[in-house]
Amino acid sequence: MADGELQLHLSWDSATTLPGAQPDLLRPALQTAGAIAPEDTINDLLDEDEGLPPAEQKRRALQAVGEHFGLTLPQQVIENGQLPVVVTRAAPPSSW
Protein backbone atom coordinates (compact mmCIF):
# COMPACT_ATOMS: atom_id res chain seq x y z
CA MET A 1 0.00 0.00 0.00
CA ALA A 2 1.16 3.49 -0.80
CA ASP A 3 -1.00 6.50 -0.01
CA GLY A 4 -3.89 4.12 0.70
CA GLU A 5 -3.64 2.45 -2.72
CA LEU A 6 -2.80 -1.22 -3.19
CA GLN A 7 0.40 -1.42 -5.24
CA LEU A 8 0.63 -5.17 -5.79
CA HIS A 9 -1.15 -8.28 -4.58
CA LEU A 10 0.75 -11.52 -5.08
CA SER A 11 -1.36 -14.63 -4.59
CA TRP A 12 -0.27 -18.26 -4.69
CA ASP A 13 -3.47 -19.03 -6.59
CA SER A 14 -2.71 -16.81 -9.56
CA ALA A 15 0.88 -15.59 -9.60
CA THR A 16 0.51 -14.65 -13.26
CA THR A 17 -2.32 -12.19 -12.55
CA LEU A 18 -0.96 -9.46 -10.32
CA PRO A 19 -3.59 -6.84 -9.41
CA GLY A 20 -2.79 -3.40 -8.04
CA ALA A 21 -1.46 -0.04 -9.18
CA GLN A 22 1.94 -1.59 -10.08
CA PRO A 23 1.09 -5.12 -11.27
CA ASP A 24 4.41 -5.51 -13.09
CA LEU A 25 6.58 -4.45 -10.12
CA LEU A 26 7.81 -7.99 -9.42
CA ARG A 27 7.10 -9.63 -12.79
CA PRO A 28 10.74 -9.42 -14.07
CA ALA A 29 12.12 -10.86 -10.82
CA LEU A 30 9.52 -13.64 -10.74
CA GLN A 31 10.16 -14.52 -14.38
CA THR A 32 13.95 -14.53 -13.90
CA ALA A 33 13.55 -16.85 -10.90
CA GLY A 34 11.34 -19.16 -12.96
CA ALA A 35 8.43 -18.70 -10.54
CA ILE A 36 6.18 -17.56 -13.39
CA ALA A 37 6.49 -17.96 -17.13
CA PRO A 38 7.21 -14.90 -19.28
CA GLU A 39 4.06 -13.42 -20.77
CA ASP A 40 3.08 -14.60 -24.25
CA THR A 41 5.17 -17.78 -24.09
CA ILE A 42 4.20 -21.35 -24.77
CA ASN A 43 4.35 -21.94 -21.00
CA ASP A 44 1.21 -19.81 -20.63
CA LEU A 45 -0.64 -22.51 -22.58
CA LEU A 46 0.54 -25.44 -20.46
CA ASP A 47 -1.72 -27.05 -17.90
CA GLU A 48 -0.90 -26.42 -14.25
CA ASP A 49 0.09 -30.10 -13.94
CA GLU A 50 2.94 -29.53 -16.41
CA GLY A 51 4.53 -26.65 -14.45
CA LEU A 52 6.67 -26.54 -11.34
CA PRO A 53 5.53 -28.32 -8.20
CA PRO A 54 3.68 -25.78 -6.00
CA ALA A 55 6.31 -25.88 -3.24
CA GLU A 56 9.09 -25.10 -5.72
CA GLN A 57 7.07 -22.29 -7.31
CA LYS A 58 6.49 -20.75 -3.87
CA ARG A 59 10.16 -21.13 -2.93
CA ARG A 60 11.26 -19.39 -6.12
CA ALA A 61 8.66 -16.65 -5.70
CA LEU A 62 9.67 -15.95 -2.09
CA GLN A 63 13.34 -15.91 -3.07
CA ALA A 64 12.63 -13.46 -5.92
CA VAL A 65 10.58 -11.16 -3.67
CA GLY A 66 13.26 -11.26 -0.97
CA GLU A 67 16.02 -10.45 -3.42
CA HIS A 68 13.99 -7.68 -5.09
CA PHE A 69 13.39 -5.90 -1.78
CA GLY A 70 16.71 -6.87 -0.18
CA LEU A 71 15.11 -9.00 2.53
CA THR A 72 17.11 -11.65 4.35
CA LEU A 73 16.64 -13.92 7.31
CA PRO A 74 19.52 -15.94 8.75
CA GLN A 75 19.02 -19.66 8.15
CA GLN A 76 19.78 -20.43 11.81
CA VAL A 77 16.97 -18.12 12.99
CA ILE A 78 14.49 -19.62 10.54
CA GLU A 79 15.31 -23.19 11.53
CA ASN A 80 15.73 -22.79 15.30
CA GLY A 81 14.48 -19.41 16.42
CA GLN A 82 11.22 -17.57 16.75
CA LEU A 83 10.30 -15.18 13.99
CA PRO A 84 8.32 -12.02 14.75
CA VAL A 85 4.73 -11.80 13.52
CA VAL A 86 3.16 -8.54 12.44
CA VAL A 87 -0.49 -8.04 11.56
CA THR A 88 -1.13 -4.77 9.80
CA ARG A 89 -4.78 -5.29 8.94
CA ALA A 90 -7.43 -7.68 10.20
CA ALA A 91 -9.48 -7.49 6.99
CA PRO A 92 -8.71 -6.60 3.37
CA PRO A 93 -9.37 -3.02 2.28
CA SER A 94 -12.92 -2.25 1.23
CA SER A 95 -11.66 -1.60 -2.32
CA TRP A 96 -11.10 -5.37 -2.81
Residues 6+ apart with CB under 8 A from 44: 16, 37
Contact 20, 8 (CB under 8 A): yes
Q: What is the pLDDT of residues 10-51, one digit of tens each?
A: 776 655 566 778 878 888 898 898 888 777 665 554 555 566
Residues 6+ apart with CB under 8 A from 43: 37, 51
- Identify the burial level of 10 via C-beta atoms within 10 angstroms of its C-beta, where 0-12 means exposed, 13-18 middle and 19 or more buried: buried
Task: Tell me the pTM.
Answer: 0.59
How confident is the model at residue 72, as a pLDDT? 81
CA distance 90 to 82: 22
**Number of domains present in the structure of the chain:** 1
How confident is the model at residue 40, as a pLDDT? 65
Q: Residue 62 in 3-state DSSP?
A: helix
Instruction: Give me the domain span that covers residue 30.
Output: 1-96
| 76 vs 93, more confident | 76
